Structure 1
């Protein structure tokens, strides 16, 4: 739980005792922090800051998706739709006028459907590995939350101007991004690294307050077992978010 215990002379938005949501916990600037309403728990809010903001930024800023029903139907793919970022991306995408396809392991198919996905692919099957929509749809936007999928697989499933937003970019992503730029390709592969902003955190907090999105907790670890929690997170098989809690 983030509670303000002291404020600097220039701080105007917060006072001692306020419960806030931010991405620094010992010492934080005023600008990326927002008040946490009582309807949103400290644990749920803490998970929003990095994973939620990454999903929101990828969809709305990089992907240009509006989180309402004002635009024509957009086909969206979320890889690893059961993971920390992916489970937010599926929920947020469904706030727009979207048809959402997601990938995950077999054990999480029903979970991802419960988040709102219209179609779910088991990534270990030939159909899942090919990313082919069961409805034979081409994707306008892909939120790529995992690793190990080549650009050629995405490219075959995109609309002529489709975008892949890669949230775990490696050397291959950077190379393909450069090649696409040089060849003026209309299909885009975009690497993304997000620094959370106050307006994005506030948007997510409000959506959670209104019951439009939720945080799903896979596991909780005390601070003394943080290394164990981190190791599980790096395995990439969590359903939702893992949480490290301070011991009191």
Structure 2
């Protein structure tokens, strides 16, 4: 395959937004000893992708080199396997998480490490599968690892707030939280209230109303955990709404929130702000794929674009008003 060319979208430097993306013909990549070569069937665009392009995430996330083919959440079919790959063979349908340093998702073919590739059952479409890695696992890890929610309803009851609940992470967070012993309050725009309720939220606030802006639960409940998917909310808004040992899990931490977190720790404050960055593993990815298979979890697709119009999906993601995930299909 390496001698053949494929259609891909890349950028050559930081900045430029959708206009900085270029359609190119480049060689099909060759899998290394522990990698699989995939025919990409669907790729999802995440905010982290265009934040990498903007240079906002340096030095944590940056391309290994330019030009760079962005996007790291894909689903597809295995075409070829490296010599040390044991669990996959040509023809297998999979979901994979690609390295943020190497990227590669906005293309007809991509290579993925075997350890970050999982089987995709026939019940899970390529679009549904590609939506999962970053967004769903951010919600899953935040709820299970940081908030201590047990998804079999065996844990202690918790009151949970999910902000920006109609976004990619928020929609998964609502659904996953309701698999636990929880009462879920959510914030979103007015047009998405019915959708968020349909996914299990017990209370939904329009973030543009006074109560929504203040994050006040309609039932007066104090939150044990806030899964914070939005930006720009000061600690002073969270603090009066938290229970005695309440935590705000900040999924888009800024310099200011990192400083607030440090101060809370240094002063031994019971109420904590926890900056969070997801670590994707094959085990956790397989777990959420099976939740979709079992009908316990849905991937909500906002829109789908052909690879030839991938820059339009990129622009929509940057606009910040998608309901659920934006998918590109070669």
| TM-score > 0.5 by shorter chain | yes
Q: 2:212 aligns with which of 128, 139, 144?
A: 128
- 1:140 matched to 2:224? The reply is yes
1:34 to partner: Cα distance: 0.7
Q: C-alpha distance in 2, partners of 1:237/1:73? A: 32
Q: For the pair shown, which has the larger CA radius of gyration, 1 or 2? A: 2
**TM-score normalised by the chain length of structure 2:** 0.73
1:151 to partner: Cα distance: 1.1
1:240 to partner: Cα distance: 1.1
**TM-score normalised by the chain length of structure 1:** 0.96
1:67 to partner: Cα distance: 0.5
Q: 2:93 aligns with which of 9, 16, 19?
A: 19
Query: Could you list the per-position Cα deviations for residues 196-230 of structure 1 after superposition, in whole angstroms to 9, with x for gaps in the alignment?
Result: 11111111111101000101111111222222212
Match of 1:116 in 2: 200
Runs (5+) with no aligned partner, structure 2:
1-40, 42-75, 99-104
- 1:160 matched to 2:160? The reply is no
CA RMSD of superposed structures (Å): 1.0
Q: C-alpha distance in 2, partners of 1:202/1:129? A: 36
More deviation, 86-95/228-237: 228-237
Q: C-alpha distance in 1, partners of 2:279/2:126? A: 20
Q: 2:168 aligns with which of 65, 74, 84?
A: 84
Q: C-alpha distance in 1, partners of 2:134/2:285? A: 9
- 1:149 matched to 2:233? The reply is yes
Q: How does 1:1-248 map to 2 (within 5 A)?
A: 1=41, 2-24=76-98, 25=105, 26-246=110-330
Runs (5+) with no aligned partner, structure 1:
none
Q: C-alpha distance in 2, partners of 1:19/1:96? A: 30
Q: C-alpha distance in 2, partners of 1:57/1:66? A: 11
Q: Which has the higher strand share?
A: 2
